[in-house]
Amino acid sequence: VIRLLTDEEWRVLRALEQCIIKKGSSNIYTITKTADQPIDRVEFALTKLNERGIIKKKGSNYAMFTSGFDLLSLKHHVDHNDVSALGKIIAKGKESDVYEVLSEKGECFALKLFRLGRTSFRDVKRKRFSDRAELHNWITRNYQAAKREFESLGRLEGLTDSIPRAIASNRHTVLLEELRGIKLAERPELINPASTLREVIMTVKKAYANLGLINGDLSEYNILTDGKRAWLIDWPQCVGVNHPNASELLNRDISSILKFFRRVYGIYVERKDALSYVNGISRKLVIRRE
Ligand SMILES: Nc1ncnc2c1ncn2[C@@H]1O[C@H](COP(=O)(O)OP(=O)(O)OP(=O)(O)O)[C@@H](O)[C@H]1O
Ligand SMILES: [Mg+2]
């Protein structure tokens, strides 16, 4: 579809997005004014976009399917030479879809498209919004989540290579360094579980001690591994040390990792020792066997 859309259709699609985000209405007049094109051309483009299943007329207003936002975002990444081809889907989660993409230079990246609120839609395949407020709410939540994740990863960049680098972000998407690993939740065999656990806790410490950042949703589901290395992913909800629940969240992040490694790999660290290590009170992290 990206190749099929005309410049005129892109312009009208962007104008519609602007109307949905900023204006009180998205009828033909506000879209025409925003697109700054003759009304008959705008009408023609809207008809085409409707036929392509990207937008939908609802009363006098036009609404957009999530595929419309996906297209706008992909087009942005294409125009910035960050994406040249879309590959297979890597993961379909509750809150995001992650695709493998190829850059102009032939690098493989992971494109994360936020899908917050997906479960509240009956028709998950072709999401349509029943009213403007719902659509507006979807945009706000998903655009902000991508922005927050991108900003946090930007701050974390260079600190450790156990957190993926973020290359770009636009609308509800974040372009990430692609990691070749599987979720720790799948309980893969680890070459040296103790050194993987050490890498995880050390990464938590680095983020906390250097930047005051706490992931806040850390668990075996947000750690990828290749059997040796470990990467901490999924940072949109991360918080700073000044957050009212900071210590509780840090505690929970650490507890869930420790519990998992103890249960699955039979190694453990006392929680207070891990916390002292992350807090910088203690310099040593002693990992024990059951
Ligand atoms: N940089 C990456 N490289 C490769 N795969 C990735 C990358 N980031 C995420 N993934 C894959 O996508 C999945 C979901 O990513 P993430 O945890 O960031 O999103 P999420 O919104 O929490 O999704 P879920 O609802 O499934 O938890 C990961 O479990 C992993 O399989
Ligand atoms: Mg996740």
- Mean local confidence (pLDDT), 194-202: 98
Measured in Å, residue 122 CA sits from the centre of ligand 1 at 23
Q: Which residues have CB under 8 Å from 213's CB, separation 6+?
A: 152, 155, 156, 207, 238, 239, 240
What average pLDDT does the chain have? 94
Measured in Å, residue 234 CA sits from the centre of ligand 2 at 5
137-141, long-range: CB within 8 Å, 24+ apart, which pairs?
138/66, 139/20, 139/21, 139/69, 139/172, 141/114, 141/116, 141/117
C-beta 176 within 6 A of ligand 1: yes
Place of tokens 């470990």: 230
Q: Please report the atom of ligand 1 found closest to the CA of residue 236.
A: 18
| Beta strand ranges found along 115-196 (DSSP E) | 166-170, 173-177, 182-183
Q: What is the pLDDT of residue 124?
A: 46
pLDDT in tens, 234-267: 999 999 999 999 999 999 999 999 999 999 999 9
pLDDT in tens, 134-148: 888 899 999 999 999
Q: What is the residue with the minimal CA distance to atom 23 of ligand 1? A: 93
C-beta 149 within 6 A of ligand 1: no
Q: Please report the atom of ligand 1 found closest to the CA of residue 179.
A: 3
C-beta 233 within 6 A of ligand 1: yes
C-beta 110 within 6 A of ligand 1: yes
Tokens of 161: 């290579």
